[in-house]
Amino acid sequence: MKAYAKNIRISPKKLSVVASIVRNMGVQKALDILKFMPNKWSWLLYKVIASAVANAKTNDNQDSANLVLNSIIVNKWVVYKRWNPISRGRSHAILKRTTNILVELKVK
């Protein structure tokens, strides 16, 4: 019972803070916390967990009350490199980081 989100345009460092809050929780409690969290990217993790729950219901005939988050893995992915021109013909690098998310569920 898994769900993936690939090539998301957010830094893995920012998303791992949100992921560490809901790790090893029950699915319903984690969804409730993420729904009302003021963090900008909590809705993304909410959608991935909800997708994993939907996969468990349709593919494995599991009840969502018995599901627990087994692991949330936030990996870095491609870094888009852009340049910002500055004085005297030089430039500074702008690194636009992307993230992959893997959510795995298990039964209590």
Confidence category of residue 9, pLDDT binned at 50, 70, 90: very high
Q: Is 40 or 73 the better-scoring residue by pLDDT?
A: 73
Give the dihedral sign, CA 35/37/43/45. Answer: negative
pLDDT of residue 38: 93
- For the sheet with 2-8, list strands across it: 2-8, 91-107, 67-85
What is the DSSP-derived secondary structure letter of residue 65?
Answer: G
Tell me how crowded residue 50 is: count the other CB atoms within 10 A of its CB. 17
pTM of the model: 0.90
User: Do the beta carbons of residue 95 and residue 9 sit within 8 Å?
Assistant: no
- Average pLDDT in the 91-100 region? 97
Give residue-wise pLDDT tens across range 20-59: 999 999 999 999 999 999 998 899 999 999 999 999 999 9
pLDDT of residue 40: 86
pLDDT exceeds 90 at position 108:
no
User: Do the beta carbons of residue 99 and residue 8 sit within 8 Å?
Assistant: yes
SS3 37: coil
pLDDT exceeds 90 at position 70:
yes
Please identify which residue in the block is written with the tokens 């460092």. Answer: 13
In CATH terms, 2-107 corresponds, of 1.10.3720.10, 2.40.50.140, 3.50.50.60, 3.90.470.10, to 3.90.470.10
Strand partners, 83: 93
